[in-house]
Chain A
């Protein structure tokens, strides 16, 4: 899982000055791809004039390592990146300078020196999400029955079906990788999952009375070792139940690293 290219190597070498930033990605930039966000940060760093370290080679780029890519369309409160500097700059000053140069929707919440030997990318272990989904109401009516979930006393059919699925040991999905498609079991990647019916909400701008909306709160494995993207989770639910959940929005709420066996926030 370690990456050998000069700017991505999983080790933050000891004598380097690394500032870790915690930032958010709002609606304004949710349709910007991960690669484009990386370039945006690179250019914002150049604009600050802060002495950032540059990668070697033909196209020198500021050395910034991001924690976990965010899919297009997803917002987040929990983005992290490590920025390598050539001289120590007060992290708060860096935060303020960079915030002035970042476009609307990208905001640094916190910045601090770190002296982890490993960079953020190689440490990421888990991520938490809020996933808003809906089912068409007539779809529910057609299916008729209301099932009583004895264990959870939950009268909602949708919630019942999802909970029932989660009690299985195997939940397989077909994942498209670089070397073709393969079937994987995502059950061990779901650390925790809660689902709740939302009767009133402002999660969607467009009111549509025919939608019944649920909020799924999920803790999923993340990082190079094992990674489950929330949209894949939803398609797995749709595949293994007769539900057809549609995603309204996904929001990443937390990112956790595995530091010598202990789970914690990156900063």
Chain B
């Protein structure tokens, strides 16, 4: 039975269309029909406008709905005004398509895009009436799974999520749903084992898991039996089947499967050939403005550059491109099905796309008569890209973004940001001569080896940008120079060359921000900085182990949610939670690890090897650059996937 939401309620909340669904291209199916045997709630742990902007969600929603036996529906975190009313009136969390409570579904799938959304995962489970901890769920509850970039260190959520999908879910998800259907209709475990190629029968499940089997009411249908079946699919990680042992100093001693029927290492799944991979020809067109309210065309996955702080640059390796012809065709289809007025190219670094010129020329030709504009994010600024942007009509002459990340050449070399000051100033000059006058510069503070000179370098670079403007002839440059310097705080992430590094303390980060603020004198420069408290928590949970999961639960119990939304972030509650759980956050955020330390994510195989990352870490300290994959292979380990740039 779907939930009933009185008009009264919707009249009281901000943006009621977040909760009403029925958008153009929404998939409609009859969940009561015989065909539908699986119901999947795709959950994004943030509000509608953010979740709907997410490309992965858009792809997987339509991909799962391609199946006749499954209805995939969307769920977003209700904003606090709506949540309050829902709790008051006892309205459980429901899916947008049917308004059915998701506690009746077969699967609840979360996408984990940033650590600070974890409390929303808990809150959404609770609002749905589903126990927070996996071990408290019974046969009547859905399976709770998760994927996305943060799942590369799944451990903070190990006690909460039943299973994770590591890597790209497009293929794995179908395998899982196939197994589920067999499991649900009572086909025996053995059959699937043959299918998944695991022959030996293993009885050595330990006592703890055995209890779960006994509790299973329906014959052979215990939750555990299903999880055992899927644990053998490549890319699937069932945390309850793994045991973590600790050393006396609190570091991890070992992470091992409880039975040898489960893989010791869980290798991420990738789509080898993106041109062959599913990509929807339809996308939901929301009524309300969302963050990325346009057609999103994914041009490639991965990044060849290898900036040493950037997790995305390593976990999505190897780089795999889509062919321009394929993309032009897709753009056409998507434009027809959505009526969108803008197309945006999505990737980690648009300029590195080998077919950029061909693709953009074709897109601009095809789309201009339809008055569809092209937006080109993360484009390196040079004369080619500037003329492109003018043609694409997508950038108002008001804002260009540069990300030198560090203030001096020395530090840029440490992080392998292959951009020189000359490159940057040349780009800025071209931009000013082209009439641009607003420039945003992004930096990171707290990077390994950083000194106050590097901080001073940020302000000097800002001043040089101002001088470049002043040196541009008046008749060429745009009016009203506006330079914004933004600094985020460095967060060491798993599977990067900096995974061993400590994060600067909150106090140090504040001091550095203050120091930089004092140095910036020009009236043309505005300075923005990130809250180091949030970055500190990110650093804890990015590299957290299972023990940090209790802290998440405690913080949520104290009312933490929407932590990435400044106004609802309460740092003191978080610190109380750490204390009450006797977990020292500094152990995770501010401790430098030895090369031989066992990481909480040691059992996850992302392709890139620990050895390669260590080499990169050592090179960082020597200030040595590493070429990008197209210039020369650096033997990172991603060849194991048998595709992409490594084989071009």
Residue from B336, B340, B371 in contact with A60 in the complex, judged by beta carbons closer than 8 Å: B371
Nearest-Cβ distance from residue A250 to partner chain B, whole angstroms = 10
Q: Are B340 and A43 in contact (CB under 8 A)?
A: yes
Binds B, one of A3-11, A28-36, A137-145, A185-193: A28-36
Q: Are A105 and B10 in contact (CB under 8 A)?
A: no
Measured between alpha carbons, how far is A45 from B288 in the docked complex, in Å?
17
Q: Which residues of chain B are near A32, meaning CB under 8 Å?
A: 17, 20, 287-288
Q: Are A47 and B393 in contact (CB under 8 A)?
A: no
Q: Are A29 and B22 in contact (CB under 8 A)?
A: yes
Contact with A along B385-412 (1 / 0, CB 8 A): 0000000010010000000000000000
- Residue ID in chain A nearest B293 by CB atoms: A39
Measured between alpha carbons, how far is A11 from B11 in the docked complex, in Å?
36
Interface residues of A in 16-39 (CB under 8 A from B): 28-29, 31-33, 36-37, 39
Q: Are A59 and B339 in contact (CB under 8 A)?
A: no
Measured between alpha carbons, how far is A7 from B241 in the docked complex, in Å?
63
**Is A61 part of the binding interface, using a Cβ–Cβ cutoff of 8 Å?**
yes
Q: Are A47 and B339 in contact (CB under 8 A)?
A: yes
Residue from A36, A49, A58 in contact with B17 in the complex, judged by beta carbons closer than 8 Å: A36
Measured between alpha carbons, how far is A35 from B17 in the docked complex, in Å?
13
Nearest-Cβ distance from residue A229 to partner chain B, whole angstroms = 14
Measured between alpha carbons, how far is A36 from B287 in the docked complex, in Å?
6
Nearest-Cβ distance from residue A214 to partner chain B, whole angstroms = 17
Measured between alpha carbons, how far is A54 from B393 in the docked complex, in Å?
15
Measured between alpha carbons, how far is A206 from B9 in the docked complex, in Å?
13
Q: Which residues of chain B are near A105, meaning CB under 8 Å?
A: 22
Measured between alpha carbons, how far is A49 from B7 in the docked complex, in Å?
36
Q: Are B6 and A46 in contact (CB under 8 A)?
A: no
Interface residues of B in 1-54 (CB under 8 A from A): 4, 6-7, 10-11, 16-17, 20, 22-24
Known contacts: A28-B22, A58-B393. The answer to whether A101 contacts B339 by CB under 8 A is yes
Q: Are B10 and A43 in contact (CB under 8 A)?
A: no
Q: Which residues of chain B are near A58, meaning CB under 8 Å?
A: 393, 396
Known contacts: A31-B16, A36-B288, A58-B396. The answer to whether A43 contacts B4 by CB under 8 A is no
**Is A40 part of the binding interface, using a Cβ–Cβ cutoff of 8 Å?**
yes
Q: Which residues of chain A are near B22, meaning CB under 8 Å?
A: 28-29, 103-105
Q: Are A40 and B24 in contact (CB under 8 A)?
A: yes
**Is B370 part of the binding interface, using a Cβ–Cβ cutoff of 8 Å?**
yes
Interface residues of B in 258-287 (CB under 8 A from A): 285, 287
Measured between alpha carbons, how far is A28 from B20 in the docked complex, in Å?
8
Q: Are B16 and A61 in contact (CB under 8 A)?
A: no
Q: Which residues of chain B are near A88, meaning CB under 8 Å?
A: none
Q: Are B341 and A61 in contact (CB under 8 A)?
A: yes
Q: Are B4 and A205 in contact (CB under 8 A)?
A: yes
Known contacts: A32-B287, A58-B393, A103-B24. The answer to whether A46 contacts B17 by CB under 8 A is no
Contact with A along B336-362 (1 / 0, CB 8 A): 111111000000000000000000000
Residue from B16, B287, B373 in contact with A40 in the complex, judged by beta carbons closer than 8 Å: B287
Q: Are A31 and B341 in contact (CB under 8 A)?
A: no
**Is A42 part of the binding interface, using a Cβ–Cβ cutoff of 8 Å?**
yes
Q: Are B285 and A73 in contact (CB under 8 A)?
A: no
Q: What bracket does the count of chain B residues touching chain A fall in?
A: 20 to 34
Nearest-Cβ distance from residue B322 to partner chain A, whole angstroms = 24
Q: Are B285 and A43 in contact (CB under 8 A)?
A: yes
Q: Are A31 and B10 in contact (CB under 8 A)?
A: yes
Known contacts: A31-B16, A73-B7, A206-B4. The answer to whether A46 contacts B287 by CB under 8 A is no
Nearest-Cβ distance from residue A197 to partner chain B, whole angstroms = 21
Main secondary structure of the interface of B (DSSP, over half): loop
Q: Which residues of chain A are near B11, meaning CB under 8 Å?
A: 72-73
Q: Which residues of chain B are near A40, meaning CB under 8 Å?
A: 24, 285, 287
- Residue ID in chain A nearest B340 by CB atoms: A43
Measured between alpha carbons, how far is A129 from B647 in the docked complex, in Å?
68
**Is A165 part of the binding interface, using a Cβ–Cβ cutoff of 8 Å?**
no
Q: Which residues of chain A are near B16, meaning CB under 8 Å?
A: 31, 72-73
Q: Are A46 and B288 in contact (CB under 8 A)?
A: no
Most chain A beta-carbon contacts within 10 A, residue among B17, B23, B339: B339
Q: Which residues of chain A are near B24, meaning CB under 8 Å?
A: 40, 43-44, 103
**Is A163 part of the binding interface, using a Cβ–Cβ cutoff of 8 Å?**
no
- Residue ID in chain A nearest B18 by CB atoms: A31
Measured between alpha carbons, how far is A36 from B340 in the docked complex, in Å?
13
Q: Which residues of chain B are near A60, meaning CB under 8 Å?
A: 341, 371
Interface residues of A in 229-267 (CB under 8 A from B): 248-249
Q: Which residues of chain B are near A72, meaning CB under 8 Å?
A: 11, 16
Q: Which residues of chain A are near B339, meaning CB under 8 Å?
A: 42-47, 101
Most chain B beta-carbon contacts within 10 A, residue among A33, A45, A49: A33
Q: Are B338 and A54 in contact (CB under 8 A)?
A: no
Measured between alpha carbons, how far is A60 from B340 in the docked complex, in Å?
12
Residue from B4, B7, B10, B370 in contact with A46 in the complex, judged by beta carbons closer than 8 Å: B370
Measured between alpha carbons, how far is A206 from B338 in the docked complex, in Å?
36
Measured between alpha carbons, how far is A214 from B34 in the docked complex, in Å?
44
- Residue ID in chain B nearest A27 by CB atoms: B7
Q: Are A42 and B341 in contact (CB under 8 A)?
A: yes
Measured between alpha carbons, how far is A27 from B133 in the docked complex, in Å?
39
Most chain A beta-carbon contacts within 10 A, residue among B20, B23, B396: B20
Q: Are B341 and A43 in contact (CB under 8 A)?
A: yes
Measured between alpha carbons, how far is A29 from B287 in the docked complex, in Å?
9
Measured between alpha carbons, how far is A54 from B373 in the docked complex, in Å?
13
Measured between alpha carbons, how far is A103 from B28 in the docked complex, in Å?
12
Nearest-Cβ distance from residue A94 to partner chain B, whole angstroms = 15
Most chain B beta-carbon contacts within 10 A, residue among A39, A42, A249: A39
Measured between alpha carbons, how far is A47 from B337 in the docked complex, in Å?
7
Q: Are A46 and B23 in contact (CB under 8 A)?
A: no
Nearest-Cβ distance from residue B189 to partner chain A, whole angstroms = 44
Measured between alpha carbons, how far is A105 from B11 in the docked complex, in Å?
18
Measured between alpha carbons, how far is A70 from B336 in the docked complex, in Å?
28
- Residue ID in chain B nearest A52 by CB atoms: B371
Nearest-Cβ distance from residue A169 to partner chain B, whole angstroms = 32
- Residue ID in chain B nearest A30 by CB atoms: B7
Q: Which residues of chain B are near A39, meaning CB under 8 Å?
A: 287
Measured between alpha carbons, how far is A39 from B287 in the docked complex, in Å?
8
- Residue ID in chain A nearest B22 by CB atoms: A28
Measured between alpha carbons, how far is A61 from B342 in the docked complex, in Å?
11
Interface residues of B in 357-381 (CB under 8 A from A): 370-371, 373
Interface residues of B in 478-530 (CB under 8 A from A): none
Q: Are B336 and A47 in contact (CB under 8 A)?
A: yes
Measured between alpha carbons, how far is A45 from B396 in the docked complex, in Å?
25
Measured between alpha carbons, how far is A105 from B23 in the docked complex, in Å?
11
Nearest-Cβ distance from residue B294 to partner chain A, whole angstroms = 11
Contact with B along A120-157 (1 / 0, CB 8 A): 00000000000000000000000000000000000000
Nearest-Cβ distance from residue B7 to partner chain A, whole angstroms = 6
Measured between alpha carbons, how far is A205 from B339 in the docked complex, in Å?
35
- Residue ID in chain B nearest A246 by CB atoms: B8
Nearest-Cβ distance from residue B564 to partner chain A, whole angstroms = 25
Measured between alpha carbons, how far is A36 from B7 in the docked complex, in Å?
19
Q: Are B7 and A249 in contact (CB under 8 A)?
A: yes
Residue from A28, A45, A104, A206 in contact with B6 in the complex, judged by beta carbons closer than 8 Å: A206
Measured between alpha carbons, how far is A61 from B339 in the docked complex, in Å?
11
Nearest-Cβ distance from residue B342 to partner chain A, whole angstroms = 9
Measured between alpha carbons, how far is A43 from B289 in the docked complex, in Å?
13
Interface residues of B in 278-310 (CB under 8 A from A): 285, 287-289
Nearest-Cβ distance from residue A241 to partner chain B, whole angstroms = 22
Nearest-Cβ distance from residue B76 to partner chain A, whole angstroms = 15
Measured between alpha carbons, how far is A229 from B498 in the docked complex, in Å?
60
Q: Which residues of chain B are near A59, meaning CB under 8 Å?
A: 341, 373
Nearest-Cβ distance from residue A232 to partner chain B, whole angstroms = 15
Task: List the 9 closest A-B pairs by CB distance, nearest first.
Answer: A43-B339, A46-B339, A47-B339, A31-B16, A60-B371, A36-B287, A32-B287, A103-B24, A54-B371
Additional 4 contacts, C-beta under 8 A, given A29-B22, A40-B285? A31-B17, A32-B287, A60-B371, A73-B10
22 pairs across A/B with beta carbons < 8 Å?
A29-B22, A31-B16, A36-B287, A40-B285, A40-B287, A42-B339, A43-B285, A43-B339, A44-B24, A46-B339, A47-B337, A47-B338, A49-B336, A59-B341, A60-B341, A73-B7, A73-B10, A103-B24, A205-B4, A206-B6, A248-B7, A249-B7
